[in-house]
């Protein structure tokens, strides 16, 4: 059996935060605001994996009110999510994701992001696709106020 899932996330960009996307530190004057490390790309992928497995939403598994997730490394949360997917009888086949932000330029980081995400997903790096794109100066992503992300995943029976 195969199943698909869709995920979305958005975090505001603020000063005095490190920018982490897909577990990779991006050199930039601003970072994403959030309870954990605010890794919007990894969060969208977690959301999609939970969706494909019909296991509920990310907030139910890793609640923002729980102090153990303060500044949490989202890659660790992705590892836990993949464990849940495996327990539900599935394995990950591939992931495709969009990062929507006019700034910073993310192209040079894509290869490292795919390699970093492939490990907790337990798939080959060429089964992870990450596509940065701009929002043509429209909306919060176009004005440097936020970064949003979208992910779609395919899982199949183990």
The nearer residue to Zn ion, 41 or 92, going by C-beta atoms, is 41
* Upstream peptide bond of 152 is cis (omega within 30 degrees of 0): no
Among 5, 7, 43, 148, binds Zn ion (CB under 5 A): 43
The stretch near Zn ion (CB under 5 A) out of 8-16, 21-29, 116-124, 142-150 is 8-16
Contact with Zn ion (CB under 5 A) among 9, 37, 47, 141: 9
Q: Which is nearer to Zn ion, 1 or 23 (CB)?
A: 23
What are φ and ψ of residue 73, in 5° steps?
Answer: -75, 115
3-state secondary structure labels for all residues of 39-58:
CHHHHHHHHHHHHHCCCCCH
Both ends of the chain: CA-CA distance in Å?
9
Taking CB under 5 A as the binding criterion, the range among 23-31, 36-44, 82-90, 141-149 that sits at the site for Zn ion is 36-44
Which residue minimizes CB distance to Zn ion?
A: 43
Size of the site for Zn ion (CB under 5 A): 2
CB 2 within 8 A of CB 92: no
């Amino acid at each position: 059996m195969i199943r698909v899932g869709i995920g979305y996330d958005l975090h505001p960009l603020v000063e005095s935060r490190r920018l982490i996307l897909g577990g990779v530190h991006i050199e930039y004057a601003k970072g994403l605001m959030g309870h954990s490390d605010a890794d919007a790309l990894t969060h969208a992928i977690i959301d999609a994996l939970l969706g494909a497995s019909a296991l509920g939403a990310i907030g139910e598994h890793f609640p923002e009110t729980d102090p153990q997730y303060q500044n949490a490394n989202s890659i660790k949360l992705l590892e836990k999510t993949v464990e849940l997917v495996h327990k539900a009888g599935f394995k990950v086949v591939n992931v495709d994701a969009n990062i929507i932000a006019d700034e910073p330029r993310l192209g040079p980081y894509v290869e490292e992001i795919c390699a970093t995400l492939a490990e907790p997903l337990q798939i080959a790096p060429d089964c992870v696709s990450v596509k940065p794109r701009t929002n043509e100066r429209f909306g919060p992503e176009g004005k440097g106020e936020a970064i949003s992300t979208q992910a779609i995943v395919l899982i199949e029976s183990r």
